[in-house]
Amino acid sequence: MAKNNGNRVSSYYQLTSDILLEVIHVKLNSPSTTGDSSLGYDAPEFTGYLHDVVSRGNLGLMYDDYNKSKYLFELNKEKDESDKITNYYKTNNFYVNNIFPINNAESVYVNADIIPNSTGHEGYNDLNPKKMTPTNKLKLDVSGLKDDEAEVIYDIYKLHFTGNNYFGSGNGMVLNTFIYDSKQNKINLSSVIFTPLDTVNFETTPLLVGEKLYTTYYQFRVPSTEWILDSEYSYKFENLLTEYGFQEKTPVNFALKEIHSSYNRGGFTFYNTEEITKITIPYKDGYEDISLDMKEADDGEYFKIRVDAGSESFSDFLRELEGSHSIVHDISLTEYYIDNDNKVQKKQTHRQYYAVNIDDTDENIEDNLFDDPILYRPILQTKNIYYFVISDTLRIINNSDNTTIVKTGRLQYGNKIDENVNKYGKKMLPIVDMPGQIIQANVYNKRTDKDLDSVIIGGGGSKIDLNNQKIENHQYNITSFIETSNVSISVNTVVPDE
């Protein structure tokens, strides 16, 4: 049985004409029934983005009296770019790349990373100790918490860019994510500064959304609001953030600010900013019933990819959407093979798209055509295949504002005893379903001596009595393998007299 590794939960939001925000939500589960996680969440490896589990003991919470808000961040003193594993898990939401406003309008910020040895400051709050939490009181107190209560689950935020000019006429950006408690007090889950000095990643495969191609991205991590609100393991963490609690289904707010200028004064760096856009994001995936069902067909050598919409059909779901949308399936094949050094390598060998534009009155929806599965047959390109992975990214794109529902499924095939990858190679037997079609036969051994390999019916004449004829049939044993594709048949017609 092929292994279907589930679905990634993701959504896209258009921030500017050249910047697209992707939010990859952690997927909560019930540990009591699944047994998959002692912390109550799913972090499927196939997404390529493992969700961080950050210890509360490594988190700081700063109260900024300038704007009556709290700011949550990791307490790491520096960014570690040397260790790939550390770099893979890093949140990019550190003490050193967080900045905080020093006015009520939140237009002027100060950097937490002060200029070294310039004035002997111990921390950014030395700017005004009465306005900011002292450095020695930032760390969250986790004494008395159990192991499953001392972790915070993070979501992933990715800013996708159409080119290399990420900042336009500005000198950087502020990436601000925040929620409100029941008394409308602001809790900032990120206040990250993003500058030209930060590392930007190239898309493994360019992202095409709304007729625009996104080629680079910057990512950081934010504590999961769904985990804060709904997880049985987060209630004590909620008490650390606010004494008033949060309202049910509290949305997440994301503000993108542009840095126009900066200056140094008294050992601190200050930034003048202007808000470009602000959006509201649901605290959890609003389409959790939509998923991709991928499985091997039981009536042939191919796979079926179907959109599962839960209690309703996918066509019914599309009928309920208002306006014009694009439905895109991005299907890829990745082969894992054994190289000459007996090591497992991987290579993406195929990618294809299924795309269609629809509106809420489209006849294809009325005909339920979107409920039919996609039939996909992988064609393996490499030798010594260990197993292969079929991935499908479904995007339901709102054509008016590019807001996008993203679901990703992954199916792994070949590393189980009953899964034979060889049948998905380049060659296969033709399909025969009509009378008169000839099935190809492979002949591996033959004799080439026509005189010895012939069948002779003796006794000629004008009339042949077949009942009294001697038939000579020469038989030989073939002990060596001869590979050939030349097979010939000769027929001599004998017409008996009446």
Model confidence pLDDT, tens digit, residues 371-430:
889 999 999 998 888 899 999 989 898 888 888 888 888 899 987 888 888 889 887 655
What pLDDT does 279 receive?
A: 94
Higher-scoring residue by pLDDT: 239, 125: 239
219: nearest Cα among 447, 400, 48, 65: 48
Backbone angles phi, psi at 289, to 5 degrees: -80, -15
Percentage of the chain with pLDDT > 70? 70
Which of 169-183, 207-221, 457-471 has maximum average pLDDT? 169-183
Higher-scoring residue by pLDDT: 367, 44: 367
Higher-scoring residue by pLDDT: 192, 495: 192
What pLDDT does 12 receive?
A: 86
**Nearest-5° Cα angle at 421, 416 to 422:** 140
Please state, in angstroms and as integers, the Cα–Cα distance from residue 413 to each residue in 6, 307, 391, following that order: 14, 20, 11
What pLDDT does 42 receive?
A: 46
pLDDT score of 29 more than 60 = no
d(CA 376, CA 275): 46
pLDDT score of 176 more than 50 = yes
Higher-scoring residue by pLDDT: 457, 83: 457
Higher-scoring residue by pLDDT: 173, 418: 173
Q: Given strand 374-376, what is the order of strands in its sheet?
A: 291-296, 303-308, 374-376
Which of 49-58, 111-120, 163-172, 179-188 has maximum average pLDDT? 179-188
Q: What's the whole-number mean pLDDT along residues 243-259?
A: 93
Q: Which long-range contacts (CB under 8 A, 24 or more apart) does 310-319 make?
A: 313/368, 313/371, 314/290, 314/370, 314/371, 315/365, 315/366, 315/368, 315/369, 315/370, 315/371, 317/290, 318/358, 318/360, 318/362, 318/365, 318/370, 319/360, 319/365, 319/366
pLDDT score of 40 more than 80 = no
pLDDT band (50, 70, 90) for residue 132: confident
pLDDT score of 234 more than 60 = yes
Which of 135-139, 286-290, 330-334, 434-438 has maximum average pLDDT? 330-334
Residue type, 376: Y
What pLDDT does 25 receive?
A: 83
Give the predicted TM-score (pTM) of the model.
0.71
pLDDT score of 86 more than 50 = no
d(CA 43, CA 21): 20
Q: What is the DSSP string of 117-167?
A: TSS--SSGGGG-TTTB--GGG-B---TT--GGGSEEEEEEEEEEESSS--S
d(CA 274, CA 256): 9
Query: Across the chain, what does the average pLDDT equal?
Result: 77
What pLDDT does 158 receive?
A: 92
Tens of pLDDT, residues 417-460: 888 888 898 876 555 555 544 455 555 555 555 555 555 555 55
All domains of the chain in start order, with CATH: 9-281 (no CATH), 291-400+408-424 (2.60.40)
d(CA 98, CA 177): 12
Asked if residue 87 lies in contact with residue 73, where contact means CB atoms within 8 angstroms, the answer is no
Which of 144-158, 252-266, 416-430, 474-488 has maximum average pLDDT? 252-266
Asked if residue 25 lies in contact with residue 9, where contact means CB atoms within 8 angstroms, the answer is yes
Which stretch of 112-126, 299-313, 391-405 has the lowest confidence by average pLDDT?
112-126
Q: Characterise 269 by phi-psi region: left (phi > 0), alpha (psi -120 to 50), beta (else).
A: beta
d(CA 177, CA 172): 17
pLDDT score of 39 more than 50 = no
Asked if residue 390 lies in contact with residue 294, where contact means CB atoms within 8 angstroms, the answer is yes
pLDDT band (50, 70, 90) for residue 239: confident
Asked if residue 162 lies in contact with residue 222, where contact means CB atoms within 8 angstroms, the answer is no
Owner of token pair 């049948």:
423
Asked if residue 23 lies in contact with residue 281, where contact means CB atoms within 8 angstroms, the answer is yes
Asked if residue 16 lies in contact with residue 5, where contact means CB atoms within 8 angstroms, the answer is no
Which of 42-51, 52-61, 127-136, 355-364 has maximum average pLDDT? 127-136
What pLDDT does 117 receive?
A: 45
d(CA 312, CA 107): 47
d(CA 269, CA 111): 6
Displacement of CA 249 from its chain's centroid (Å): 25
> Which tokens in the block code for residue 343?
């090591």
Asked if residue 156 lies in contact with residue 24, where contact means CB atoms within 8 angstroms, the answer is yes
